[in-house]
């Protein structure tokens, strides 16, 4: 309230002084006591107006200096309060860390621990992915080898039994293989017949 009243009073004083001493200020700026285009005034009124203007300016400067000083003091008090708060928190943390086995200043180590955990987790996921890919390729190769040995190299598949000796179309190959098997069956039957006849 005092600041508002002081600033309002100074704001009121300055315009009034400026209005009353307009001729005096013009004369002061012009460099002589009798300004051009204005009636001559007494030296006493010019001096009083100049003194009043100087007093108003000094009063305003004093008020500004006082406000700046108050602001600096308030900021200093805020800074001191923050320093006291930080010191109190530091003392409390040290007390709890020393007497209660509570670690309050492990922020850096906790951050590094979390980063290390993240790195290990990433490495574990990468290794698991590599293991999964390796197992996939291994199982696929085993299945392909089993299918190849079961179906591609089996005697049951006639067009693959002897691929070097088979020439021509698939029908001719099947026909020749069928004739060969029939001849083999007939030969075995003939051999069995002739081997059983002497025994009888």
34, pLDDT greater than 70:
no
User: Is the domain of 143 the same as that of 86?
Assistant: no
Angle at 140 between CA 138 and CA 145, to 5 degrees: 95
106 to each of 13, 117, 118, 121, 138, how far by Cα in Å?
A: 62, 16, 18, 22, 47
3-state secondary structure of 166: coil
Query: Mean pLDDT across the chain, nearest whole number?
Result: 73
pTM of the model: 0.27
Domain that holds residue 116: 108-199
Region of poorest pLDDT, from 5-9, 62-66, 81-85, 149-153: 5-9
Could you give the residue ranges of the DSSP H alpha helices within the chain? Answer: 2-20, 22-30, 43-99, 107-147, 158-161, 170-199
Return the pLDDT at 108. Answer: 54
Q: Quick one: 94 and 62 in the same domain?
A: yes
Number of domains in the chain: 2
Domain's final residue, options 99, 119, 139: 99
Q: Is 119 helix (H, G, I), strand (E, B) or coil?
A: helix
User: Which range scores top for mean pLDDT: 7-11, 105-109, 132-136?
Assistant: 132-136
Predicted confidence (pLDDT) per residue in 160-180, tens digit? 545 545 455 566 677 888 899
Whether residues 95 and 7 share a domain: the answer is yes
CA gap 63, 23 in Å, rounded: 27
The pLDDT confidence band at residue 55, using thresholds 50, 70 and 90, is very high
In this structure, are 57 and 15 located in the same domain? yes
Residue 60 has pLDDT above 90, yes or no: yes
């Amino acid at each position: 309230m005092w600041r508002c009243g002081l600033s309002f009073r100074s704001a009121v004083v300055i315009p009034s002084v400026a209005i009353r001493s307009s001729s005096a200020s013009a004369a002061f700026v012009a460099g002589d006591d009798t300004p051009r285009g204005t009636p001559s005034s007494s030296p006493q009124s010019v001096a009083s107006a100049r003194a009043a203007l100087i007093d108003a300016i000094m009063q305003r400067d004093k008020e500004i200096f006082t406000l700046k000083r108050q602001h600096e003091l308030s900021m200093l008090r805020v800074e001191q309060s923050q320093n006291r708060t930080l010191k109190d928190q530091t003392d409390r943390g040290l007390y709890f860390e020393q007497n209660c086995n509570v670690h309050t200043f492990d922020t850096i180590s906790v951050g590094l621990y979390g980063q290390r955990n993240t790195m290990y987790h990433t490495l574990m996921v990468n290794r698991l992915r590599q293991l999964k890919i390796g197992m996939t390729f291994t199982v696929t190769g085993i299945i392909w080898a089993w299918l190849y040995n079961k179906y591609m190299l089996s005697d049951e598949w006639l067009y693959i039994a002897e691929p070097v000796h088979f020439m021509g179309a698939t029908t001719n190959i099947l026909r020749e293989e069928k004739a060969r098997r029939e001849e083999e069956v007939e030969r075995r039957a003939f051999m069995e017949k002739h081997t059983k006849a002497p025994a009888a």
